Structure 1
Amino acid sequence: MFYRSNSDGNGGETTWCFSQVKGTLEDDVTEADLISCVEFNHDGELLATGDKGGRVVIFQRDPASKQCVPKKGEYNVYSTFQSHEPEFDYLKSLEIEEKINKIRWLKKKNQAHFLLSTNDKTIKLWKVSERDKRVTGYNTREEGGRPRDPTRITQLRVPTVRPAELMVEASPRRIFANAHTYHINSISLNSDQETYLSADDLRINLWHLEITDQSFNIVDIKPANMEELTEVITAAEFHPTECNLFVYSSSKGTIRLCDMRAAALCDRHAKLFEEPEDPHARSFFSEIISSISDVKLSNEGRYMMSRDYLGLKVWDLRMETKPVETYPVHEYLRSKLCSLYENDCIFDKFECCWSGDDQRLMTGSYNGFFRVFERGAGGGRRGELTLEAARDAAARPRQPLRARRVAATAKRKKDEISVDCLDFNKKILHTAWHPHESIIAVAATNNLFIFQDKF
């Protein structure tokens, strides 16, 4: 796909335009309505969101939006179901939240769709299917489902299939539970489409989709004495094509590539990706901001992207010593780390994603801002873009978005916003990119914003 430059370099209009916003635009929002994950399926026809209330909402691409020229990235509600309920662990006297941490789609094999969803402890495999026909003419029961009196059945009827109103049903096919002591932060499907991994703070387990009562522990970093614990697992993902390879990141800013062919327990990594720390730049916050909140392998499998608190790094899997590309996301916050530590924002976990052709990167920031970086653009402003998921965009459908600028100093231009005026409650933690088109989905509190390239 041909991509235009992201910005005009002067904070003017961009090639991106607003398409849709889902969810109420009112200010009174409950905690349960906050979106906690966003995920496109493999062909981009479906888009799923999970929220803190344990609900999964699936949106389907509007067929008419694909036929018009140019194509539009518009989605309609397809199905809504309650995936997880709040639970209580009586042995540990702990409440288990219903919040959906991750959603992962399986590749489509038949007419039905399958997805995995997880909260802190339990993973569920859901089947989403359509039903637009009904069977009538049963011999042993009435149309309403009540059993018929056998003494009044005087003749046999041949059941017939008739058209009915379309119904979308979501049913749990598998429940994978009781395998994690700590909170699950990642699930990732293997390229074999038969196994998947789940990761918590100290362990990574390997599951088979057909087996719910058994999993294999493939990584265990729990020390014999918990006082010796120095790092925790923050994210994990399978390689997109090599079924034996997976990566996991840590709170110490390292990424480990493991090969399951080497040993049953991958306690020894095949490669370790770590950027040397500059001793002159070390501060009280260095360890916190170096913690990796998300790691994503590129679609073709050669590169890997990691997100720490202040920026994005792109690694070549063939070079462990340093990243091949570095993109500052909100470097202007470095002077604000003390106040961000006091309000706990410094512990926010930002996700990141690749475009379908691996040429662009996206991640979130504060004040409703999210960043799009164009690879190979020289790292200048022309290759980076700050956009805003603003509620007033709903009044301007298909209008080009205006690039935003943040001024790190007191002196600012007319079209810039001061770093002191940023709203840290409006944070973009979850984003997703359509696998084949220039369509992006951005979660902002309880709203799902959809943007697309106007070309």
Structure 2
Amino acid sequence: MNGGDGGDVAAAPEGPPPPLDWKFSQVFGERTAGEEVQEVDIISAIEFDKSGDHLATGDRGGRVVLFERTDKKEHGGNRKDLEKTDYPISRHPEFRYKTEFQSHEPEFDYLKSLEIEEKINKIRWCQTSNGALFLLSSNDKTIKFWKVQEKKIKKVAEMSMDTSNSKATGNGNVGSSTVTSNPKLHLANGGCTDKDKSYTSLSNALSFPSGSIPSLRLPVVVTSNETNLVARCRRVYAHAHDYHINSISNNSDGETFISADDLRINLWNLEVSNQSFNIVDVKPANMEDLTEVITSAEFHPNHCHTLAYSSSKGSIRLIDLRQSALCDKHSKLFEEHEAPGSRSFFTEIIASISDIKFGRDGRYILSRDYMTLKLWDINMDSGPVSTFQVHEHLRPKLCDLYENDSIFDKFECCLSGDSKRVATGSYSNLFRVFGCNPGSTEATTLEASKNPMRRQVQTPSRPSRSLSSITRAVRRGGESNTPGVGVDANGNSFDFTTKLLHLAWHPTENSIACAAANSLYMYYA
């Protein structure tokens, strides 16, 4: 821009965007006060598709529920009318229930005498094709590839004869019927006979009972006006993991995906269900030498040869599939070294990363451990570019959290589509949103309720205990008493029995879907 003196005027540096004003949008499966939640109804996975027009949830009962966006269809309108507006339309995304299907059933491994839960651990959307939706769903041992599409329902509009005028005669002959014009009739045993010899043979072949018989009515006109959504399992990827599957991730090539358990990462082709390639194996020759396990894995959103996986020691490894078939060596290692003298009994437990997510452009990786969110630049492995404190106020209570197993809760994390904000869950059905821009002080705490700014504790429901057999190093005793309700450093009450573990950010808009027990809450800004 040229000033009055003809010289160049530098533009003012752009500061961090203002904090978002979050508002309640929708809730599905809302509980009434004091209503007891069934274990099978608790939501265990949430995922938007790439377009953001579809949302999928999985629950502990093995069901997958699909939602579709409706405000675009209802208010999409004329494009010319939309182009005339000089401001974005302030209409929040609205979703409606689309369909649901039973994805997994409980199983029993007779070789290991082990029960396999039907709980859905992860859901990942695949590329759509010909109007059909495709997605992967996984429990602890088995991954399934689903196709959901609309099928036309066929209904009979016209029959071969009118029942009101047809009467059966007493000798067994049909009074009114449609007779084929084909000179040969095919019998039940596969043979055929000439028309003039067919009646006796056909009567013997059909063995009509004596007395009157109903008229034979056949459909001649079939219509298909109505449609119905049908979910069909295309493939089952099984028997490839000795330990519980904690991650599945689609490749950007649209043909392959990975599945990860505590010790191995396998590469699959979507079209091949009976074979996979082991690309990462951290299992030592002697299991007593095991020091860390894989906790999460994800493909790069744009580079089909790059993926990252996290460990229980708090490190993230970036690997390149072009280097070798077995990726024992990483191309980059991201880890933060602990301060001298800060090590304690809980150091390794709280350092374990429960979830990692790539940003949409693939430059940043977001990781969640028990205490913090960390944002990493894949071009800078010296340390995270930002660290967000989530559970620092719980540090004095780590002993209690260890006693009741809450310290092993696996909270997920998510990034906004522009990578300017991150979000993760906490206890009391709270979740937090942080700004990532340099100088940003945005740190908003919201509650999964119709009044997200209320920040109060809802009626608690007893949590489920679902711990990996190998990730947990020590198990102390049996079921212990819950720590109850407390108050954090900000004066907000918290309850360890209500936790918001699963949430997802819309890929293109400031909209978040999160799960509180069996309820799905949606917010927009």
TM-score by length of 2: 0.75
Which residue of 2 is the match for residue 389 of structure 1?
Answer: 448
Q: 1:65-144 to 2 correspondence within 5 Å?
A: 67=75, 69-132=89-152, 134=154
Q: State yes or no: 1:189 paired with 2:250.
A: yes
Contact 1:327 1:379 in 2 (8 A): no
Contact 2:514–2:520 (8 Å) recurs in 1? yes
Instruction: Provide, for residues 159-186 of structure 1, a one-character-per-residue CA deviation record: whole Å limited to 9, x for no partner.
Output: 8773433311101001000000000000
Deviation for aligned residue 1:242: 0.6
Q: Aligned residue for 1:335?
A: 396
Could you tell me which amino acid in structure 1 is paired with residue 149 of structure 2? Answer: S
Quote how far apart the aligned CAs of 1:330 are.
Answer: 2.1
Output the CA distance in 1 between the equivalents of 2:496 and 2:54.
31
Q: Is the 8 A contact 1:35 1:445 kept in 2?
A: yes
Query: What does residue 52 of structure 1 align with?
Result: 60
25, 28, 45: which one aligns with 2:31: 25
Which of 152, 176, 180 is matched with 1:154 structurally? 180
CA contact 2:159–2:221 (8 Å) conserved in 1:
no
Q: Deviations over 1:242-294 (max 9, x none)?
A: 10010000000011101111110001111111111112221111100000000
| 1:168 alignment counterpart | 229
* Alpha-carbon displacement from aligned partner over 1:354-411 (angstroms, at most 9, x marks no partner): 111111111101111101111115253xx11110112xx1xx6xxxx427599xx989
Structure 1 segment 170-249 matched on structure 2, within 5 A: 170-249=231-310
1:317-374 per-position Cα deviation (integer Å, ceiling 9, x unaligned): 1111111111111211111111111111000001001111111111101111101111
Instruction: Report if the CA contact (8 A) 1:195-1:207 is conserved.
Output: yes
Contact 1:367 1:424 survives alignment (8 Å): yes
Once residues 165 and 245 of structure 1 are traced to their aligned partners in structure 2, the CA distance between those partners, rounded to angstroms, is: 45
SS at match of 1:340: helix
2-side partners of 1:191 and 1:64: how far apart?
26
Distance 1:96 1:385 in 2: 38
Aligned to 1:446: 518
Pair 1:311–1:257, CA change in 2 (3 A): same
Preserved CA contact (<8 Å) 2:393 2:488? no
- Provide the aligned length of Structure 1 versus Structure 2: 419
2:447 matches 1:375: no
Larger radius of gyration: 2
The Cα of 1:138 is off from its aligned counterpart by 11
For residue 424 of structure 1, report the CA deviation from its aligned partner: 0.8
Amino acid at match of 1:124: K
Distance apart, 1:433 and its partner CA: 0.8
Structure 1 residue aligned with 2:416: 355
Aligned match of 1:276: 337
Give the alignment's TM-score, normalised by structure 1: 0.86
Percent identity of equivalent pairs: 56
Q: 1:332 to 1:106 in 2, by over 3 A?
A: same
**Residue 502 of structure 2, aligned match among 404, 408, 430:** 430
Structure 1 position 24, deviation (Å): 3.9
Deviation at 1:430, TM superposition (A): 0.4
User: What is the distance in 2 between the residues matched to 1:161 and 1:322?
Assistant: 67
Alpha-carbon spacing, 1:351–1:153, altered in 2? closer, same or farther (3 Å): farther
Paired amino acid for 2:49: N
Alignment correspondent of 1:298: 359
How far apart, CA to CA, are the structure 2 residues paired with 1:367 and 1:224?
43
Instruction: Decide which structure has greater strand share.
Output: 1
Equivalent-residue separation in structure 2 for 1:4 and 1:132 (angstroms): 49
- Greater shift, 224-233 or 106-115, is seen at 106-115
Q: Give the structure 1 partner of residue 18 of structure 2.
A: 5
- Give the CA RMSD over aligned residues: 2.7
Q: Post-superposition, which runs of at least 4 consecutive aligned residues in structure 1 deviate over 6 A?
A: 137-140, 156-161, 409-412
The answer for the alignment partner of 2:191 in structure 1 is none
8 Å Cα contact 2:47/2:56 also seen in 1: yes
Structure 1 residues 170 and 311: alpha-carbon distance in aligned structure 2, compared to 1, 3 A threshold: same
Q: Which runs of 5+ in 1 are unaligned?
A: 7-13, 141-148
Measured in 2, the distance between the counterparts of 1:52 and 1:410 equals 30
SS at match of 1:191: coil
Aligned position for 1:143: none
**In 1: Cα distance, 2:342 partner to 2:445 partner:** 26
CA contact (8 A) 1:431 1:440 kept: yes
CA 1:239–1:139 in 2, change beyond 3 Å: closer, same or farther?
Answer: farther
1:410–1:16 CA distance, 2 compared to 1 (3 A): closer
Unaligned residue ranges in structure 2 (runs of 5+): 1-15, 77-88, 161-173, 183-217, 458-485
Q: Is the 8 Å Cα contact of residues 258 and 270 (structure 1) preserved in structure 2?
A: yes
SS of corresponding position for 1:422: strand
Farther-moved stretch of structure 1 (103-112 vs 239-248): 103-112
Q: Which of 1 and 2 has higher RCO (CA within 8 Å, sep 6+)?
A: 1
1:139/1:153 contact within 8 Å kept: no
Quote the residue 2:49 is aligned against: 41
CA distance in structure 1 between the aligned counterparts of 2:90 and 2:401, rounded to whole angstroms: 43
SS in 1 for 2:401: helix
SS of the residue 1:313 aligns to: strand
